[in-house]
Structure 1
Amino acid sequence: MEGYRIRGGRPLEGEVEISGAKNAALPLLAASVLTRGENTFSSVPEISDVDSMVKILKGLGCSVKKEKETVTVDASNMSECSIPEEFMKEMRSSVFLAGALLARCGEAVITSPGGCDIGRRPIDIHIKGLESMGARMEKRDGRMIIKGPLLKGTKIRLKYPSVGATENIMLAATGAEGVTVIENSAREPEIEDLQKYINRCGGRISGAGTGRIEIEGGKRLTGCSHRIMGDRIEAGTYMFMALGTGGCIYLKNTEPSHMEYPVRFLKGGGWDIFCRENTITAKGRGSLRGCSFSTAPYPGFPTDLHPQTAAFLAVRGRDCEIEENIFEKRFKYAKELIKMGADIEISGKKVIIGDNKILCGREVEAEDLRGGAALIMAGLMAEGTTTVGNTRYIKRGYSRLEEKIRLLGGEITEYVQREP
């Protein structure tokens, strides 16, 4: 088992280049199968989920080259429409390929996707959207066979603004005849990045970020070069890490408008936050008392920053609460923070933070990606040494984590514990 050993008590200070967004890179790589010719993606995060997507694309017959933060994909000679179960189980984002394969091949064969166990994440909204365009799905031997050789554009209203369903329908709709309209679509910035890429390839999509997306299908798409947007969740994580340890940070390659919610509440707590074009500077000392947050789809408070915010408030807040409205198992990190001395309790859908405490280093275990990041943050804020096990979860979403923390002055090393 792999883990991190962290010695706390040092303020994180300096500048950090935010990597490309995990939640943009994966659907963008999936979208590359819609094109003929070479695609070059830059600012691709060096994370295990990207490695998994690369394996899937190669298995489909795509030519893929990966060198550090650049991935080149040519799907001109793609020959498969079936994704092996072992690849689907590695990450949830493999489900994006269902819509892309339908548009490209008229058929997609998948299994239920994997990913972190943070609650129910059914793909019924995805399937219903695809069926609205004429696709049909049958289950056979644990696999889902989705066929739609003649997809038709239509109006689809999502019962919930699901990011994954919005992106999957967008990809399928590029291959449909006529115009598809998605109402109550997700508004996340990563969806705007997907729209930008597809349009650059020759597609015609409008409305991403507004709640109503219109896709004109039937366009021939050719490969292009695309730089992936900065990761707003990574930016928020490092901002909390630095301020939680009493340091200051200069974030590069991050769009301030995507960080409006965390920036606003940190300013309210007395921290100095300065936003410029593609950069954020955060410094000073502050505290938050009696604050309350509720996770919600963008532009609300992001569920992917919930655990990191809780760890931050355990040290820098008092009498605060976070209501989780998206994933019912998001609270797994809490028991590990309690081991470290945090004054935290779970009540229904809420995590309640009492008095701020000095955390003490302990042996803790990550059980999902964002909860793992919260434990690393807690270790950096704590007195003594903290070990965080199961770091395979964290490597799914944070690019060059150790390197960046060390550049900021933190003390973190990786260890490998052999199984007996």
Structure 2
Amino acid sequence: MDKFVVRGGNPLLGTIKVSGAKNSALPCMAAAILTEDEVILENIPQVRDIETERKLLASMGAEVELGYGRAQHRTRIRCAVLSDPVAKYEIVKTMRASSLVLGPLVARTGIARVAMPGGCAIGGRPIDLHIKGLEAMGATITQEHGYLEARTNRLKGARIVFDKITVTGTEDLLMAATLAEGETIFENCAREPEVTDLAAMLVAMGAKIEGAGTSTIRVQGVSKLHGARHRINPDRIEAGTFLIAGAITGGDLNVDGCEPAHLSALIYKLEQCGVRIDVGTDHIRVRSGGDLKAADISTEEYPGFPTDMQAQYMALATQAEGTTIVTENIFENRFMHVQELNRMGANITVQGRTATVQGKTPLQSAAVMCSDLRASASLVLAALVADGETILDRVYHMDRGYERLEEKLRGVGAQIRRMGDVFGKK
């Protein structure tokens, strides 16, 4: 099992490149189910979840080619025949995004059988909103032996009000509605850039969608979609992680190939912490502004502070003078990194959904355990400023969502290396 070994103390200097967004790429790959034609996706990140999605689509009968060489970030998908519309547990058990194939499968084939999803153990992400929406559109859904099965002759348009904002629920039902008969109106939709990115791809495939990126989305169903070429958005969470890496190390780091408009909430908080930020059209420069200062955060749905940046921000807070209050409003079990940060010398207490970080505390090297994707990133950030050599175990969590993180960080001066088999090595 791979480990990272990180020796702290180096400021990060230079330019670091942002990959495509995993959380955009996964629903866009699922959307290829909706057409018999070829779909080409560009700016696909080389991470484990993408390989899992490739296996999932291939197991259903799709032809999926992940690019290599100069085309290594491009994939071609053709779902001409979906001979086995089942998302098998052995494939999807490590990936939450498996639920995203439910809507497009039942819309295209009239039947879908999907294993209840896995992924990071950061709290409940109920699939009931997906089920309620599909039932409102005329699907019959049963659940047994860990699988959901949906059946319909053809989905029909409906008015659907989400009980709570859900990104995957919005994406899954949006895909289903493109082939439904009549108009579907969604209210209380997720507004994340990943939803907007998926909608842009669906429109390129011939879907009729209005309002993506707002709380109300209207879809006029069509009888058939065609192939398309689409470029995936840059990964705002990877970009945010790099911004914090530059800030926590007191470096001078240019985060290139990002979309600054997607990072407004984080940029605002970093500036409150005393970090110097220069924003360009597709890059952000982060520099030390002197001693870091505490600034509270409260996670919210987009455009609020992202839950996927909470753990990384907490690592930064350990190096800020004063008390930082971190409130987690999205997931109820997303403080698993706290224990590991405290083992490195942090002073963090948790009560319910609130963590209190007392800074500034010197961090020391330790052997630590990665518990989920973003918690893993927070431990890398802490290790970059810790005294001595930190060993991070179970970094396969990192490989699910960060493309060659250690190589990118090493390119801007971090002392980080991988022990074990390198993911993706041929």
TM-score, normalization by structure 2: 0.96
Deviation at 1:321, TM superposition (A): 0.9
Aligned residue for 2:137? 133
Contact 1:256/1:277, CA 8 A, preserved across alignment: yes
> Is the 8 Å Cα contact of residues 153 and 180 (structure 1) preserved in structure 2?
yes
Seen in structure 2, the aligned counterparts of structure 1 residues 148 and 355 have a Cα distance that, compared at 3 Å, is same
Question: Which among 261, 267, 273 is matched to residue 269 of structure 1?
Answer: 273
Q: Do the aligned partners of residues 317 and 92 (structure 1) sit closer, same or farther apart at CA in structure 2, a change above 3 Å counting?
A: farther
- Listed as ranges, the matches of 1:154-165 within 5 Å are 154-165=158-169
Is the Cα–Cα contact under 8 Å of residues 137 and 144 in structure 1 kept in the other structure?
yes
- Tell me the alpha carbon deviations over residues 211-235 of structure 1, each in whole angstroms, 9 at most, x when there is no partner: 0011111242111111100000000
* CA–CA distance in structure 2, aligned partners of residues 287 and 133 of structure 1: 55
- Deviations 1:92-126 (Å, cap 9, x if unpaired)? 10110000101110111012100000011110011
Correspondence 1:20 to 2:20: yes
Contact 2:192–2:213 (8 Å) recurs in 1: yes
In 1, the alpha carbon distance for the partners of 2:6 and 2:153 equals 53
Does 1:186 pair with 2:190? yes
Q: Which residues of 2 match residues 46-85 of structure 1 at below 5 A?
A: 46-67=46-67, 68-85=72-89
Aligned position for 2:42: 42
* 2:215 aligned with 1:227: no
Whole-Å separation in 2 of the counterparts to 1:77 and 1:145: 19
Q: What letter matches 1:259 in structure 2?
A: L
1:295-310 equivalences in 2 (<5 Å): 295-310=299-314
CA distance in 2, matches of 1:140, 1:396: 28
Contact (CA 8 Å) 1:402, 1:412: kept in 2 or not?
yes
Residue pairs, 1:65-214, within 5 angstroms: 65-67=65-67, 68-214=72-218
Q: Distance in 2 between matches of 1:150 and 1:222?
A: 18
Partner of 1:238: 242
Using the alignment, how far apart are the partners of 1:253 and 1:35 within structure 2?
30
Contact 2:272–2:293 (8 Å) recurs in 1: no
Check the 8 A contact 1:102/1:149 in 2, yes or no.
Answer: no
TM-aligned CA deviation for residue 242 of structure 1: 1.1
Tell me the residue number matched to 2:287: 283
**TM superposition shift of 1:132:** 0.7
**Secondary structure of residue in 2 paired with 1:393:** helix
Whole-angstrom distance in 2 between the partners of 1:221 and 1:150:
15
The equivalent residue for 2:317 is 313
Counting aligned pairs with the same residue, the percent is 39
Cα displacement string for residues 70-105 of structure 1 (whole angstroms, at most 9, x for unaligned residues): 111011122221121111212010110000101110
Q: Counterpart of 2:10?
A: 10
Q: 2:366 aligns with which of 362, 381, 387?
A: 362
Cα distance, 1:290 vs. partner?
Answer: 4.8
Query: What amino acid is the match of 1:111?
Result: A
What CA distance in whole angstroms lies between the structure 1 residues aligned with 2:191 and 2:158?
20
CA distance in 2, matches of 1:330, 1:304: 10
Q: Match for 2:414 among 404, 410, 414?
A: 410
Does the aligned pair in 2 maintain the 1:99–1:130 contact within 8 Å? yes
User: Cα gap change, 1:328/1:168 in structure 2, threshold over 3 Å: closer, same or farther?
Assistant: same
CA shift at 1:287, angstroms? 4.4
**Structure 1 residue 268, shift from structure 2 partner:** 2.1
Give a deviation string over 1:303-340, Cα, whole Å, max 9, x none.
Answer: 00000000011013420111001111100000000010
Q: Contact conserved, 1:6 with 1:385, CA < 8 A, in 2?
A: yes
Structure 2 gaps of 5+ residues are: 422-426
Residues paired across the two proteins, number? 417
Aligned partners of 1:24 and 1:194 also within 8 Å: yes
Which whole-Å CA distance do the structure 2 matches of 1:286 and 1:370 have between them?
26
Name the stretch that deviates more: 46-55 or 280-289: 280-289
Q: 1:347 aligns with which of 348, 351, 357?
A: 351
Matched AA of 1:15: T
* 1:206 CA displacement: 1.3
**How far 1:255 moved relative to its partner?**
1.0
Q: Does residue 380 in structure 1 map to residue 384 in structure 2?
A: yes
Give, as a single letter, the amino acid of the residue that structure 1 aligns with 2:220.
E
Q: Which amino acid in structure 2 is aligned with residue 4 of structure 1?
A: F
Once the two structures are overlaid, the 10-residue window that deviates more, 310-319 or 337-346, is 310-319
Once residues 282 and 151 of structure 2 are traced to their aligned partners in structure 1, the CA distance between those partners, rounded to angstroms, is 42
- Equivalents in 1 of 2:286, 2:279: separation in Å? 9
Aligned letter for 2:274? G
2: distance between equivalents of 1:139 and 1:192? Answer: 31
Mapped to 2, the partners of 1:202 and 1:317 lie a distance apart of 53
> Residues of 1 paired with 2:154 and 2:114: CA distance?
19
Q: Report if aligned partners of 1:203, 1:219 keep a CA contact under 8 Å in 2.
A: no
Give the Cα–Cα distance (whole angstroms) in 2 for the partners of residues 286 and 310 of structure 1. Answer: 19
Q: Which residue of 2 aligns with 1:29?
A: 29
| AA aligned opposite 1:266 | L
- Distance in 1 (CA, whole Å) between partners of 2:62 and 2:227 is 13
SS in 2 for 1:120: coil
Provide the residue aligned with 1:396 in structure 2: 400
TM-aligned CA deviation for residue 288 of structure 1: 4.8
Change (3 A) 1:130 1:356: same
Of residues 203-212 and 71-80 in structure 1, the stretch that sits farther from structure 2 once superposed is 71-80
Pairwise CA RMSD of aligned residues?
1.2
Cα distance in 2 for partners of 1:328, 1:144 equals 25
